[in-house]
Amino acid sequence: MLDLRLIREQPDFVKAEIAKLGEAAPIDEIVELDRRRREILTEVEQLRADRNEGSREIGRKPAGPEREAQISAMRELGDRIEALDAELKEVDDGLDERLMTVPNLPDPDVPVGAGEDENVVLGEFGERRTFDFAPRPHWELGEELGIIDFERGVKISGSRFYLLRGAGARLQRAMISWFLDVHTTEQGFSEVYPPALVRTEALVGTAQIPKFTDAQYKTTTGDHWLVPTAEVPVTNMYAGEILDEAALPIYHCAYSPCFRREQFSAGRDVRGIKRGHQFDKVELVKFVHPEQSNDELYKLLNQASLLLDRLEIPYRHLQMCTGDLSFVAAKKIDIEVWAPGCDEWLEVSSCSNFRDFQARRAGIRFRPEAGGANQFVHTLNGSALALPRMMIAVIENYQNEDGSITIPDVLRPYMGSVERIEPA
RNA sequence: GGAGAGGUGGCCGAGUGGUUUAAGGCGGCUGUCUUGAAAACAGUUGGGCGUUCAUCGCGUCCCGGGGGUUCGAAUCCCUCCCUCUCCGCCA
């Protein structure tokens, strides 16, 4: 959510920034509703002050005609307040509804562009392996090795579901453990195991609702939604709280399954485990002082990337242009790994600075040590990393000509010292 | 799932319709005293919104959330959420 004061004072600036995103937002309506809201508020609060005073007098008066007259005068006042309140509620609801649909504004240094073609590669890291045979896609290798079972996944749960089996299941688990261990022991992240079911309120806080309600799974038994990412429960840990400035920055990492109802375009990304309704992810979430958020974004990017350095998997950093920014991000940089079998770059992380956009919705503030008004924190998050695509990257980059897969050195301690996955 | 008891400021806790504009205590902050500290004493104490260039000030709202009754609600009513106790069920 944007600061209403910013929209009120600089509507033209806000409109121009949103135009860069290729989006539209009802800024004029918001300005008018805000004006009307304050107008009503001034009037109704004055009436309320009058009634408070009048009612106090009644309490002090003895029974009698004078008291009765005062009561009926106050009753009349009350009717006017009630009418104005109703109007105020309507204006308030309309204002909230519209504010919730306004996207975050891009940082000044985000390249302006119409769409994904204008994203900017910031750097490419690691050596792409040269194969002396034709590298094969993970769906072939995984099936042959018996570590990915597509058929049975579909039988149980429908299209886009699969099972990992044996060494495949263990490889994913090894990565999850190793990722978390690096974050917690070296990078200062505090591990969290969050709920996978959350209330509507939480999804509103991180801005999946109302804009992306259709992409969420809802339970039928109560106010519970399946989390699309650990970002939701972890960011909402501090919802409605006022933190001490000294507590910042707060770093959390969390492993969780993620559930997304998105409508996949038929015929696209159908093969393999690249895109599904359920996947695992280790997520990094930061709560930082506003002045630090830009630096923290690059730090976050490096904290996620160092996993790939150590896995010796080639990757690149891709900065989103304005036209490809998400609804919530002020700045977003993706990490993509090279998958030689699929012959494409795969997004394994999106590192985003949301500035105060989520904090404002969720009500996450801090008390400045120097005094003055409480401020909203800045929130950031990024995957480190998304598991299915990391499975693809390991399988395809570490494949051997005979169809076996060498286990990367850093993962071997987590694999019971197994060095290779071979056909059973 | 059944029965019962509760939810008041950073914390404890009083308050069942009108000087409670939330008593009192603890903690925090500021001051006096002190070389310094402790103790004592005095003062102070949260959040949102509006008004204001801004501070101050003023107003309004907030006693778990939402709604209602009333001239007036922490207090009465409805509803939802949460906590605790006992029973039942259960990885």
d(CA A8, CA A43): 20
> Could you say which nucleotides of strand B lie within 7 A of any protein CB atom?
18-19, 21, 47-51, 59-61, 67, 70-72, 81
Please say if the pLDDT value at position A223 is more than 90. Answer: no
* Residue A41: CB less than 7 A from any atom in strand B: yes
Sequence-distant (≥ 6) Cβ neighbours of residue A91 within 8 angstroms: A33, A36, A37, A40
* Average pLDDT score over residue span A170-197: 97
Q: Which CATH superfamily is domain A4-99 in?
A: Serine-tRNA synthetase, tRNA binding domain (1.10.287.40)
Average of per-residue pLDDT values in chain A: 93
Find the Å distance, CA of residue A331 to C1' of nucleotide B57.
41
A39: which nucleotide lies closest, measuring CA to C1'? B50
* Average pLDDT score over residue span A160-179: 96
To the question of pTM greater than 0.95 for the whole model, the response is no
Q: What is the pLDDT of residues A224-258, one digit of tens each?
A: 999 999 999 999 999 988 888 888 999 999 999 99
- The whole-number pLDDT of residue A317 equals 98
* Residue A55: CB less than 7 A from any atom in strand B: yes
Give me the CATH topology for the region A116-421.
BirA Bifunctional Protein; domain 2 (3.30.930)
Please say if the pLDDT value at position A81 is more than 70. Answer: yes
Find the Å distance, CA of residue A377 to C1' of nucleotide B32.
39
Please say if the pLDDT value at position A267 is more than 90. Answer: no
Find the Å distance, CA of residue A370 to C1' of nucleotide B37.
26
* Average pLDDT score over residue span A29-52: 91
Contacts 24+ apart (CB under 8 A), A35-41: A36/A91, A37/A88, A37/A91, A37/A92, A37/A95, A40/A84, A40/A87, A40/A88, A40/A91, A41/A88
* Residue A200: CB less than 7 A from any atom in strand B: no
* Residue A373: CB less than 7 A from any atom in strand B: yes
Please say if the pLDDT value at position A268 is more than 80. Answer: no
d(CA A347, CA A392): 11
Which tokens in the block code for residue A251?
A: 């770093």
Nearest to A394 by CA among A121, A164, A187: A164
Q: Strand A190-192 to strand A250-259: parallel, antiparallel, or no bridges (unpaired)?
A: parallel
* Residue A60: CB less than 7 A from any atom in strand B: yes
d(CA A184, CA A115): 36
Higher-pLDDT residue of A47, A179: A179
Percent of chain A with pLDDT over 90: 77
- The whole-number pLDDT of residue A289 equals 94
d(CA A355, CA A1): 10
pLDDT band at residue A266, thresholds of 50, 70 and 90?
Answer: low
- The whole-number pLDDT of residue A370 equals 78
Positions of A annotated as catalytic residues are 260, 275, 347, 350, 389
* Average pLDDT score over residue span A106-125: 96
Site of tokens 């579909």: A154
Q: How far apart are the first and last CA of chain A?
A: 53
Find the Å distance, CA of residue A288 to C1' of nucleotide B37.
37
Domain ranges, ordered by start, for chain A: 4-99, 116-421
State which H helix or E strand residue A198 sits in: strand A197-198
d(CA A24, CA A16): 10
- The whole-number pLDDT of residue A49 equals 87
Indicate the angle between helix axes A387-397 and A138-145, nearest 10 degrees.
80
* Average pLDDT score over residue span A13-28: 94
Pair A324, A116: CB distance under 8 Å: yes
Please say if the pLDDT value at position A269 is more than 90. Answer: no
Residue A120 backbone phi and psi in degrees, to 5: -115, 125
- The whole-number pLDDT of residue A57 equals 83
d(CA A191, CA A78): 53
Domains A4-99 and A116-421 share a fold: no
Sequence-distant (≥ 6) Cβ neighbours of residue A298 within 8 angstroms: none
Q: Strand A225-226 to strand A315-319: parallel, antiparallel, or no bridges (unpaired)?
A: unpaired
Nearest to A383 by CA among A210, A217, A201, A175: A175
* Average pLDDT score over residue span A180-191: 97
| Residues paired with residue A331 on neighbouring β-strands, in sequence order | A353
- The whole-number pLDDT of residue A213 equals 92
- The whole-number pLDDT of residue A417 equals 86
ipTM metric: 0.87
Pair A254, A222: CB distance under 8 Å: no
Residue A385 backbone phi and psi in degrees, to 5: -140, 180
Q: What is the pLDDT of residues A374-401, one digit of tens each?
A: 899 999 999 999 999 999 999 999 999 9
- The whole-number pLDDT of residue A157 equals 93
Q: What is the pLDDT of residues A316-343, one digit of tens each?
A: 999 999 999 999 999 999 999 999 999 9
Q: What is the pLDDT of residues A274-304, one digit of tens each?
A: 999 999 999 999 999 999 999 999 999 999 9
* Average pLDDT score over residue span A303-320: 98
